[in-house]
Amino acid sequence: MLTPRLPPRRRPAFTLVEMVFAVAIIAVIASSVVVSLSGYRERKAVDSSYAFLVSLVDSVYAYERVITRLPGRLNHLTTMIDGSRATNYLGSCPEGNPALASCRTSCGASGDFTGAPAGSYNYTAADSLAWRDKGPFFHRRLETLGTVIGIGTASDVLVREPSNTGGTLAESDQRRGVLQIQILSVLAASAQRLDRLVDGVDNQAAGTIRWSGSPGPDGRIPVVFWRMPVRGC
């Protein structure tokens, strides 16, 4: 005798409460993944920018040792300077600079250079030859309109601040100034992370990394400065 086949059991469907609960769990997991990825990207951007800037600072010092002048712009590190044209460099008194004596006497009482705007002077033909022999000084091309890095754009324009910490004109080659690399349009969180990475603290008014003012509506700081000490006025 054949046993009658029973109809398959139906699995009960999810209730509305269960579905809502499942969707909520998925949303929480998705949001945590997005936040984690966003934090990872920010850390990676800051780390890559830090490596870029450290290498850039080393290159500026190497350039100063060879050319015996500070570059007027960042692209002078990767584009050969032309001593036959009016291309400016920034005033500097490094050791071995043949113009050291005149550099000493051209320092004003406040520690600023006189006789040229912002302490800038024109390169010479000898500077071009030195660049051709030793350049380029940086591994990546630096653009005149700014070079995009992880956290923003490294401006081509360098800002020279004179030192006014005292000393006589005869000792001016021992006085210190500051050369500032400008990083444009940086997220506040990235600026703070870079500040902690470089200076060990989050203080926008002191140390190597500095900026002023508050972030704009987009959460970005217009200009963040990497300050590097230079010899001279």
For 127-185, write each residue's pLDDT tens digit: 889 999 999 999 999 999 999 999 999 999 888 775 444 444 444 444 567 888 999 99
User: How far is it, in rounded angstroms, from Cα 109 to Cα 167?
Assistant: 9
Q: Provide mean pLDDT across the span 45-66.
A: 94
User: How far is it, in rounded angstroms, from Cα 118 to Cα 97?
Assistant: 19
User: How far is it, in rounded angstroms, from Cα 152 to Cα 219?
Assistant: 13
Q: Provide mean pLDDT across the span 30-57.
A: 82
- What lies within 8 Å, CB to CB, of 225 at 6+ separation is 159, 180, 181, 182, 183, 209, 210, 211
Instruction: Measure the N-to-C terminal CA separation of the chain; round to a whole number of Å.
Output: 111
Select from 179, 190, 116, 118 the least CA-distant residue to 153: 190
pLDDT at 85 over 70: no
| Greater model confidence, 82 or 144 | 144
Q: What integer pLDDT is reported at residue 146 of this predicted model?
A: 94
| Greater model confidence, 42 or 227 | 227
Q: What integer pLDDT is reported at residue 173 of this predicted model?
A: 44
For residue 92, give the amino acid letter: S
Angle at 215 between CA 211 and CA 221, to 5 degrees: 50
Q: What integer pLDDT is reported at residue 57 of this predicted model?
A: 96
Rg for the chain, CA atoms, rounded: 28
Give strand pairing partners of 206: none
pLDDT at 28 over 60: yes
pLDDT tier at 106, thresholds 50, 70, 90: very low
User: What share of the chain in percent tops pLDDT 90?
Assistant: 40
Specify the length of the chain in residues.
233
Q: What integer pLDDT is reported at residue 114 of this predicted model?
A: 37
Residue with token string 């506040």: 188
Select from 134, 129, 231 the least CA-distant residue to 173: 231
User: How far is it, in rounded angstroms, from Cα 117 to Cα 142?
Assistant: 24
Angle at 41 between CA 38 and CA 45, to 5 degrees: 140
Choose the weakest-confidence range: 60-69, 118-127, 185-194. 118-127
* Mean pLDDT estimate for the chain: 76
User: How far is it, in rounded angstroms, from Cα 61 to Cα 42?
Assistant: 29
Select from 50, 130, 60 the least CA-distant residue to 92: 60
Do residues 171 and 105 make contact, with C-beta atoms less than 8 angstroms apart? no
